[in-house]
Structure 1
Amino acid sequence: MKQITYVYSAHSAFAWLGSARLMEICARNGARLIHKPIELSPVVEAAGGLSFAGRTQAHVDYFFGRDIEHWAEFRGVEVIRHRPTHHDNPLALASGVIIAAQETGRGAGVDALAHAILGAHWREDADIADAATLAPLITACALDADAILTAASTDAIQTIYRHNTTEAIALSIFGSPTYIIGGDPFYGQDRLELVERALQRPFAPSTWQNPPVG
């Protein structure tokens, strides 16, 4: 089966904006998602990007405003019209829930759950760090909420979460979402058309050569 390694943050605006389209692409091409939730800030900073706290107000206003509005209208995706209330809350539980669900081998349920968590954050302005928010989302995906919430906080699952982050840094990933097909990375939901093409016919290997920086 074709596979897409899906590297993203559980509260990523652009993962949400591309989520429905990604699921359509997987269904149309018989592809399976391998979910790799990450802690985003260390990944961005390791790649040389600025933390959100370190960005200019103009950049933040554009990112959490017009750019999201543009893509939401283009993709036909519903979003709240402000920075999510709980955006700075920890993501260990929500990420652990996705990982724990994947570890059960319930592929379609995991895809639906990841979509639901992103939507709860960006459409419902819900607190995805709260087990009481996550439980009904898990149940609605035909998964065992009690079992998955219990597993999500275990050291085994949280170790996978930390490893996902370390692995993303090692791969020089610099943002969420990033989709990887056969080792070829595609950054951003605006590359989803390229993702579908790569599933159907891989791109030629890169021959691009950049001069050393500095």
Structure 2
Amino acid sequence: MTKTVEYIFDFAGPNGYLAWYPLKEIVERTGAKLVVTPVLLGGMHKLTGNSPPMMRDADVKGKVAYASLEFNRFLDRHGMTRFTIPKAFPFNSILLQRVLVAAADEEERQALVDALLPAVWERGLNCGDVDAVAAELAAAGFDAQRLLEATQGPEVKQRLIDNTEGAVARGTFGIPTYFVGEEMWFGKERLAQIEEYLGGGKP
């Protein structure tokens, strides 16, 4: 039976960018199925009492510097030479997250992630600028009007809230988080463990 990897995702988390590309390679190598669940990282933090590592660990001597070292090691290991931290970081990702929820199906949702991740984390897209987001969507071949109009609908707004609350209820506290069935992993450092599990290993 084909296993499904559920990716709990928000554009707002830089590690969401880093994990996306190797995760897709793992799914392809193992023959697994990938699904993306859009959530709000800010809402998740409020529900769990979590906070961004640079804030949470600011007073721990050496920890933020080491996290930066590991972050850059990951970029180098995977050849992610175009990654940059946007000037407006941290930023509100609610518009982009609603766009993902509004996708017609899973195929379009993943295509949107493929198109918008580089826009955000390589070219510094202003995620709150509706016109800029519309231009990016149109340039990538999407029906920008359909998607952006849908983001204002109550069903899309509520589904994003429900996704976030549902993920937290299952144990999620940050991005990137992955589920295979009831098994959960957190962090880009767990990707090798996920691949081993998909190949028949223990979680």
Structure-2-length-normalised TM-score: 0.83
Extract unaligned runs of 5+ from structure 1.
205-214
Distance 1:63 1:149 in 2: 39
Percent of paired sites with the same residue:
24
Provide the aligned C-alpha RMSD in A: 2.6
Aligned to 2:143: 144
Residue 121 of structure 2 is aligned to residue 122 of structure 1? yes
Alignment match of 2:83 (pick from 72, 79, 83): 79
Task: Tell me how many residue pairs correspond in the alignment.
Answer: 199
Aligned to 2:6: 5
Extract unaligned runs of 5+ from structure 2.
none
Task: After the TM superposition, list the runs of 4 or more consecutive aligned residues in structure 1 that deviate by more than 6 angstroms.
Answer: none
Distance 2:26 2:54 in 1: 34
Q: CA 1:63–1:88 in 2, change beyond 3 Å: closer, same or farther? A: farther
Aligned to 2:194: 195
1:153 is paired with a residue whose SS is coil
2:8 is paired with a residue whose SS is strand
Is the Cα contact below 8 Å between 1:113 and 1:137 reproduced in 2?
no
Alignment of 1:26-41 (within 5 A): 26-41=27-42
Displacement of 1:61 = 5.2
Aligned to 1:208: none
Structure-1-length-normalised TM-score: 0.79
1:86 is paired with a residue whose SS is coil
Is the Cα contact below 8 Å between 1:6 and 1:177 reproduced in 2?
yes
Distance 2:187 2:79 in 1: 17
Alignment of 1:48-67 (within 5 A): 48-50=49-51, 54-57=55-58, 62=65, 65-67=68-70
Distance 1:137 1:58 in 2: 39
